[in-house]
Amino acid sequence: MDTQESTGLRSREIPATGEPLSIVTVRLDPVAAKDLQQFAESMPLVQVRGELKSYVAEDDPVLEWLVERAPDVCLIDFDDDRQGATQTAERIHERLQGAAIFALSANTRPDLIIQAMRCGCSEYLIKPADREQFLEAMARVGARKRDKRALFNGELLTFLGAKGGCGVTTLATHLGAFLAKSCARKTVLVDLHPANGDSALYLGFTKHPYHFYELAESNERLDAELLQSFLLHHDSGLDVLPAPELNEPTRHVGPEAISRTIEFVRSRYEFVLIDCPPGLSVQNTEMMRRSGQVYLVTVAEVPALRNLTRYLEYLSRVEFSQERIRVILNRYLKRATISDDEIEKAIRHKVYWRVPNQYNQVVRTINSGDPSAARGSEVARSLLDWAEDVGRRPGDGEGRKKSTRGLMSLLGG
């Protein structure tokens, strides 16, 4: 590790977190250990807290020692025994979720770098690691540590259709845009469809370089800067994490990685809207479990109402809080073949919101990529009322009507 003074970076460029960033080293060769110590001595924001002379074995008591010290970084030399280093990284990653793991190696083979990343390493430093390379890596750790001090504890709103074609994406994009623009709430929409989700397209984005599942794959190095590089920014103020395109290979991202990514996103926004594909998959049920409100979207058709009943029965069996369930009746008609009373009796649950059936106005908003394009219509008023009901800040209740306002506007109230 080159300890010569770098003109490009200084200690002040490590984001302030209130205390030095701590490092524990594992099996460093003597040259690297000496260079690191000299570097730390010259940098008050970096502190070497311990040195392990051997790799970590399974059920090794040193893991408890590491947990107690909770270092910000574990720096592992991969050159002495690559298999031992890989297993050490995996064991530390499993026990110390908050620690960043750096691999240090003279080997630059791409497959070995990928292997190190897959076992939990967020950085791969090439020997001899110069001061600038190391300081940049530490700056990223400092930024992530700062970011974990959540700016928000955003509310998660999950949208799930009783079946395909119920209009979930339309409702999620409109509600998100109105929350961002009309209610001035910092809002993001996450499209969880594994392929060909339409949220981005409904908002006018015909192409996007990245998607949510790629971000989730990188959750170990997730920080504000990385998140920003994945976001699409709509004119309404709504941000979007889109789904993969249809021609992309399916990403097999585990539920834990998705949950960690969503939790980080929650720390950056007041509202996080989740556009789920239909069905009670592990991923969808986990999103519902974490949500403040779950919007089950249906239409007045027998197949949709049958599936909705099954959803509600399942949620009752698993003792899901009924207070968090909101049934949304989309494409509502006052004189529908199946009446409101018949629907509520069949599903044994009250309808929370009714969104009127105005096909031409809704299609206009989709084709223009602008949810406000139907301004003045009944459907726009209903969706805006819904957004105001959701986005009402504490103390705003006197200035706005309760959730029945959406239905009252339909009836001329």
Q: Average pLDDT, stretch 123-142?
A: 87
Considering only 130-144, 295-309, 342-356, which range has the smallest mean pLDDT?
A: 130-144
Helix axes 110-118, 82-95, angle to 10 degrees: 30
Q: Other C-beta atoms within 10 Å of 10: how many?
A: 12
Q: Average pLDDT, stretch 58-87?
A: 92
Q: What is the pLDDT of residue 185?
A: 94
More confident of the two residues 413 and 327: 327
Q: Average pLDDT, stretch 346-354?
A: 95
Q: What is the pLDDT of residue 151?
A: 64
pLDDT in tens, 194-245: 888 999 999 999 888 889 999 998 888 888 889 999 999 999 999 999 999 8
Binned at pLDDT 50, 70 and 90, residue 148 comes out as: low
pLDDT in tens, 334-346: 888 999 999 999 9
**Do the Cβ atoms of 276 and 159 come closer than 8 Å?**
yes
pTM over 0.75: no
